[in-house]
Structure 1
Amino acid sequence: MPGMENEGSNLSRAEEIKNQANEAFKAHKYGQAIDLYTQAIELNSQNAVYWANRSLAHTKLEEYGSAIQDATKAIEVDPKYSKGYYRRGAAYLAMGKFKEALKDFQQVKRICPNDPDATKKLKECEKAVMKLKFEEAISVPESERRSVADSIDYRAIKVEPQYLGAKIEGDVVTLDFVKKMMDDFKNQKCLHKRYAFQIVLQMREMLQALPSLVDINVPDGCLLTVCGDVHGQFYDLINIFELNGLPSEENPYLFNGDFVDRGSFSVEVILTLFAFKCMCPSAIYLARGNHESKSMNKIYGFEGEVRSKLSETFVELFAEVFCYLPLAHVINQKVFVVHGGLFSVDGVKLSDIRAIDRFCEPPEEGLMCELLWSDPQPYPGRGPSKRGVGLSFGADVTRRFLQDNNLDLVVRSHEVKDEGYEIEHDGKLITVFSAPNYCDQMGNKGAFIRFEAPDLKPNIVTFSAVPHPDVKPMAYANNFLRMFQ
């Protein structure tokens, strides 16, 4: 019976490969683990464990769309396999889809009625859905909403004589103030609320006046440094400034979104970047990332951190100011810089991006959503997003976009890369990511790119993580999500 022997050897080989995948997963090599689980699935697609394990590896890489697909497949293979529902519920949760998550955790509870862990997670999920319903019930329609900034008079806030931290004298944010504030932050001291309000309100005014697509002009012989995601890793941000100099008119930076969330020093990061912009608007350019949004901040820690270090009013104020951040930048009419990526349709012009009304929470589809969420793929054409939002786009899509707009290069961020960067799409697209050892566990390097005019050839600098105080990533995150870390 050679057919049966062959099948038996396939099954045992699949099991061997699954064990190798598990080892890669334990070593935080999630991409490698996914490749190995895929090989195991090719040999035996009827094992629900392989699908559920690959789902978890996708979750670790924030590929929640793929995680949901794999978990759903595990459920199809074995409808009584509780881990399939568990993994899918966790992925829905990470996307902020609490109602879908609740259904899956209810199913886990049905299959394992005596599992204390399932009971605990179900209770938390029910709480989250109740809170969501309550918030929806009391929310004011967008058209009737007043700006929280109107109710803040920072000048009326008294600074106690015992406060010895950084102070802004009058209306001007100076370099001395920013340096003192960064030193205080390094020593885990807080900035007085009066000055925090002053910085964020000044920032709001400045950003409000900017277009959705900002043109940056770098004179010949001068440099611009582009950084990717920082994600609340304040001590790594300080290290970037030590390696490459502080932002100034002569040493400008562009930070390409995802300043906050996950890392537990997001307040320090955002106030530092905002303060430099207040000090000298041409020293620093800031683009919106998918994490500069209410739904992400609710889940991934920024909202909780702001509440803990500042106040509830700041939660609202940051949410509003994040809606004012530009969506993309163009350097010297040649390099297009955006957080996520390109579009589900061809023919998008820079003028279409300029015309986006960005003053809102990111929608679930359309140009603004795709700018913040999309990712490149290694094969041509377009495909569904592994994240469940936006899309994947190939080298042909990148090439056509560049040709249509007379550009040379796309620079984007949004994805962890082992070396801190990756060059794809025939050299026409670079991903840059500036949060080394992301979430204290990925072991990746960080990178930034220096562009010198006029030729704007990308000079990529990589760096390793530096130590930080013992506050874990996601320390302020949604209690429910922390249960899955």
Structure 2
Amino acid sequence: MSSDSSPPVCPPDPKPINAQNSPDESVTTACFSSSSANTTSSPPVDIPLSWPPDSKLTLDWIRHFSSALDWSSRNLPPSDFPSVLPVSVFDSLVLTASKILHKEPNCVRINDCLSLPDSAVVVVGDVHGQLHDLLFLLQDAGFPSDNRFFVFNGDYVDRGAWGLETFLLLLAWKVFLPHRVHLLRGNHESKYCTSVYGFEKEVLVKYDDKGKHAYRKCLGCFEGLPLASVIAGRVYTAHGGLFRSVSIPKSKRSKGKKNRRIIFNPEATPLSLGSFVELSTARRSVLDPPWEGLNLIPGDVLWSDPTMKPGLSLNKERGIGLLWGPDCTEEFLKKFHLKLIIRSHEGPDAREKRPGLAGMDEGYTIDHVVESGKLITVFSAPDYPQFQATEERYKNKGAYIVLKAPDFDDPEFHSFEATAPRPEARAYYDYEDVIDSDEELDLASMVTAK
């Protein structure tokens, strides 16, 4: 089901609504500035933006924020970003969002949608700093509201030129509607990836002498992002996908009360799928998930990939996470009474190197169809990656998925073209030399980046 990329007609501006009073309070859809027609010399709203005196965001505040971000991306150099969002307002936004995120469980259960008439859940894949495509997606899908939930599957930053704006806009939506907007963590929400793929440099350029401070605050916020969600008890979503069991056999524990050690060698331990109980106890606050030791689940959830080869194996191509086949998808769905797995993590560059799996031309693929349900990959950054343009450019569409009541397990696919023209921008990383698809990771650098 394709969506036209031209912006829809805007309804009248709504009255400010304080969504923090009640998670079920209705929200009127607002018109946000079109990302294709905001190239005037003067800003469409008053800048710099200020933090509300009562620290409660309104829909009008987010509307103004979106317009300001769109306008500044087209009219101001990156170093002028503090004239739009002063560091004091940045601090308030990130701190408020971090407090909300850190209180959420590793796996968020989204069940409120079951009790609301005509409710829907929108699942979004990687956006990678492509602000203008995100602005279009939000308007095309229908903005978050009382009966319209959003699950973002991670990778908000890196590669694209507006990772900071993208991440902050989504944090604003999270603060405004904490029970309707769910932000999961991607593998790029890490210190290692952001130091390689541009986000760290982007923040340093945009906040200058306050850049290191702002970057540290973003890393702290990354630590709080949940790892996965279960929608209506039927749909599991995560950035990478499935994860292993890390239960330690009793025979592996050394005897005695003193100097007790737990011996765990992932290479020697037979792989099996993990449980939601194990997922709930994983330590997600580690910025760069380990590929060895006991805390392997976050790395699996963020970095793993499906394959058409049966079984569960180590993901040696990436150097972290797992590869799992259709039999594992069936086992996971059946064991936990699920119908769908929706993951992201693979753009057109990655899929080009994955024999047996479909390409990402339409922004989504159906990877496994098994007796109990399906495995789907959704990728929401069209014409990706922004700067690695070659004669063989993929020119892929982006996509998002809509799950509707009453069952929420019959996905509607909405593909869309990239917003054009994109504002001119410089890359914040050496895109000609950096690998395309996160493969062949320098794990030693990941250790030193912690």
TM-score > 0.5, shorter chain as reference: yes
Q: 1:484 offset after TM fit, Å?
A: 5.2
Distance 1:350 1:255 in 2: 20
Q: Which residue of 2 aligns with 1:418?
A: 361
Q: Which residue of 2 aligns with 1:303?
A: 200
What SS does structure 1 have at the residue aligned with 2:224?
Answer: coil
Structure 1 residue ranges (4+ consecutive) displaced by more than 6 angstroms after TM superposition? none
Unaligned runs of 5+ in 2: 1-45, 245-270, 348-359, 387-392, 436-450
Deviations 1:335-361, CA, capped at 9 Å, x for gaps: 000100113433421121111121112
Aligned pair partner of 1:326 in 211, 226, 229? 226
Deviations 1:283-319, CA, capped at 9 Å, x for gaps: 3100000000000000101100111112110111111
Deviations 1:255-304, CA, capped at 9 Å, x for gaps: 00001100010011001000011112123100000000000000101100
What SS does structure 1 have at the residue aligned with 2:332?
Answer: helix
Structure 2 counterparts to residues 51-450 of structure 1, below 5 A: 164-170=47-53, 171-187=55-71, 188=73, 190=81, 191-217=85-111, 218-219=113-114, 220-310=117-207, 311-344=211-244, 345-361=271-287, 362-365=289-292, 366-385=296-315, 386-416=317-347, 417-426=360-369, 428-440=374-386, 441-450=393-402
Q: 1:442 offset after TM fit, Å?
A: 2.6
Deviations 1:96-121, CA, capped at 9 Å, x for gaps: xxxxxxxxxxxxxxxxxxxxxxxxxx
Unaligned runs of 5+ in 1: 1-162
Q: Which residue of 1 aligns with 2:403?
A: 451
Distance 2:201 2:70 in 1: 20
Output the aligned Cα RMSD: 1.8
For the 8 Å contact 2:118–2:147, the answer to whether it is kept is no
For the 8 Å contact 1:167–1:177, the answer to whether it is kept is no
What SS does structure 1 have at the residue aligned with 2:318?
Answer: coil
Distance 2:64 2:375 in 1: 38
More helix as a share of residues? 1
Q: Which has the larger radius of gyration?
A: 1
For the 8 Å contact 1:346–1:400, the answer to whether it is kept is no
Which structure exhibits the higher relative contact order, with contacts defined as CA atoms closer than 8 Å and separated by 6 or more residues? 2
Distance 2:342 2:47 in 1: 42
Q: TM-score with structure 1 length normalisation? A: 0.63
Q: Which residue of 1 aligns with 2:6?
A: none
Distance 2:140 2:243 in 1: 35
For the 8 Å contact 1:248–1:282, the answer to whether it is kept is no
Q: TM-score with structure 2 length normalisation? A: 0.68
Q: 1:452 offset after TM fit, Å?
A: 0.7
- CA pair 461-356 structure 1, distance change in 2 beyond 3 A: same
